[in-house]
Chain A
Amino acid sequence: MKLSFTRRGLLAGSTAALVTPSILRAQPAEIAIGSLTPNTGGGGPFGPNITASHKRVVDAVNASGGVLDQQIRLFQENSETNPETAVRAADKLINVNQVLGIIGTWSSSVTLGIMPKCQSANVIQMCTSSSADIPVADKKGLVFNFQPLSPIWGRAIANLAKGRGIEKYAMMALNNDFTRSMMDGFIEVVGKDALVQEPFYYNAGQSSYRSEVTQLISQNPEAVFIPSYVADFTAVYKEIFRQGYEGTVITTSLSTGNQFKDAVGAAADGVIHGFPVPAINSPAYKEYLGEAGLEDTGSVQHPFGTAGRDQMSTLLLAIEKAGSTDRAAIAKAVWDVTTGEGKETVYNVADGLAALRAGKEINYSGASGSTEFDEEGMVLGRDFQLSEIKDGKDVVLERLEF
């Protein structure tokens, strides 16, 4: 085939080549944000609510003109509550989508698993994880945790259990950092004298939990505390029931969702469980219920979906406050828009953006809680709730308000 060039054709081609970059420049710039949530696996009951919250906030902000005159582009990935999957997804979000933040990670192993990649690419992380290793691993001040660390869980659940007059405990915990440090926090409050025997650990995925349960209940304690996840706790609890233990079983609410209740049926009644919950009387929580199309039942709904709303709102407010997409400046601005006194309290991103644009200092108070952060980016406090399963339903026993 013969190719021929005419002067007219060459002129047209050259003009097109020169014009193309200006067309690209004319497209509105976008701010890319990654949402990495546990839509399946252990966090499956919570992930979709977090995802939906991220999207709702972004849609609302984009509809009103975006942030810094730029639209927000949300890239959503499923971590499967699995660190390996999460690392692959983070790679894609960082290198292909060029996100400035990855928010919504739930389990500590996922948050910690993607942290090296995020740190080296200066990507902001926002999570609801509880491992005490998170602030240690964050060398650049880019990580914000919207959930208390696990020793705080242990202390809060212990306080609530003590309040019920329980004096003697036996304990065993799943062998991971989250549950081990939760057990330490629990022991800090009840004291070593309250233990009928040395606490011990078990592994997930054992072929049986019989000997562990035999050991746990051997001294017939008033209560047993078992920090765990749903898969191992369900198997352990079946064995506790089959070995005839009639004392109180205490664990985290992460282990006692519908999967647990469906798997053990009526035997679930009597299990006591606790975890951090949204401040259900706060204006932001009420707004969240409306946004998510939920009725106000007076009880906790979407414990992690609320945190998802707060993560995205905080990040967008921090971008507006920083006035640029520089990651370090945004991270610093997170404290500016969430923490400290003497500022105008706002309960949603629209009011926050309006106040910032009016030159005011703001303190975003979220649906999940007050969202005040310490100097390591860890949320300072959350409400805690202790519930008991009665007739297959969670009945609130007590609530500790922050």
Chain B
Amino acid sequence: MSLQLLVNALVNAALIAPPAMAFSLLFGILRFPNFAIGAYITVGAFAAYSLNVSLGLPLVVASGGAMIITAVVVWLTHVVVFRPMQDQSPVTLLVVSIAAAFIIENVIRLFYSADVRGFNIPLERPWKFMDARITREQVEIIIFSGLIAVGLHFLLAHTRIGRAMRAVADNPMLAAIRGVNATWITAFTTALCGLLFGLTGVFAGLDLVIEPLVGWNLTIPIFAAAILGGIGSPYGAMVGAILVGLAEEATFLIIPSTYKVGVGFAIIAVLLLVRPQGLFGTLEIKK
């Protein structure tokens, strides 16, 4: 594998690691796989586009605004759609999340059409070292992704609210008995994940193009990374993202590019058969 393919894999991983961690956090708290994450990412991309291109704000400011807007959308979706249905089975909620994704995407399509868009920043030529090339923008995405991973680790391991999040994820009833306000913790987690999905929307808009399906196109690799790392385990999601990124790049050396989209599906299928708890997840004991 050439150095360029390793760089490519690293950039892929940096793109899907934050949303994979957010997906895992959401799953830990809400206990169902939320297919609306692609739509949340699309919201982030279009919110940043509106702030950056339509209102003329610098991309850094637009990104912050997009993260806040996405956090509000994710929290509102939780309050309006998922919370009233929290007693339903995970499969029901999964189907509802697909419906929510369709609704959000089509609302975006209604206002923005299906046109292709981009941020108001110039494309940059790469830095070259040895045989590999990487742009400043891609280095920034990798650094931000790494910072998010470290920040999330600090939050979960060393803060009071992080411990409360883990407690609610582990056993909501016991956490409630110990005085943890599960409603507030859930609201905080959904908003935090919304911030990460919003940021991913900005990254995806920079890396690909801004269009109503931009988030949906990332959904399968994100799921694969989260499942590979162990669903519900944010650290595992980070490692899973790197492995999925590598797998997508490496398979191109062996099989035609048109099958690349199947790599994520293949990883999900094999893991569910061989190690359903993923690399870092714990096997759930059902009574």
Contact = CB atoms under 8 A, between A and B. Distances in A.
B257 A211 contact: yes
Given A207-B220, A264-B118, A202 B208 contact: no
B114 A202 contact: no
Contact of B123 (A40, A215, A267): A267
Contacts of B252: 211-212, 215
Interface string B89-120: 00000000000000000000000011111101
A46 interface: no
A329 B127 CA distance: 65
Interface residues of B, number: 45
B123 A235 contact: no
Nearest to A237: B123
Interface residues of A, number: 38
B209 A231 contact: yes
Contact of B116 (A207, A215, A263, A265): A263
B93 to A, nearest CB: 25
Nearest to A212: B257
A201 interface: yes
Contacts of A241: 123, 125
Contacts of B220: 207
A23 B159 CA distance: 84
Interface stretch (B7-15, B67-75, B145-153, B272-280): B7-15
A102 to B, nearest CB: 22
B56 interface: no
Interface in B168-220: 207-211, 213, 216-218, 220
Contacts of A286: none
Q: Is the contact region of chain A dominated by helix, strand, or loop, or is it mixed?
A: helix
Contact of A206 (B15, B126, B217): B217
B20 to A, nearest CB: 12
Contacts of A203: 257-258, 260-261
B217 A41 contact: no
B5 A243 contact: no
B221 A207 contact: yes
B74 to A, nearest CB: 21
A262 B119 CA distance: 9
B133 A244 contact: yes
B4 interface: yes
Interface in A164-184: 172, 175
B122 A42 contact: no
A222 B138 CA distance: 26
A18 B115 CA distance: 56
Interface of B: 2, 4-5, 8, 11-12, 15-16, 113-118, 120-126, 128, 133, 135, 137-138, 207-211, 213, 216-218, 220-221, 248-249, 252, 256-258, 260-261
Interface of A: 40-42, 44, 80-81, 172, 175, 200-203, 205-208, 210-212, 214-215, 230-231, 234-235, 238, 241-244, 259-260, 262-267
23 contacts: A42-B114, A80-B114, A175-B258, A202-B258, A206-B260, A207-B15, A207-B208, A208-B11, A208-B208, A210-B12, A211-B260, A238-B207, A241-B123, A241-B125, A242-B123, A244-B125, A244-B126, A244-B128, A244-B133, A259-B117, A263-B117, A263-B209, A265-B121
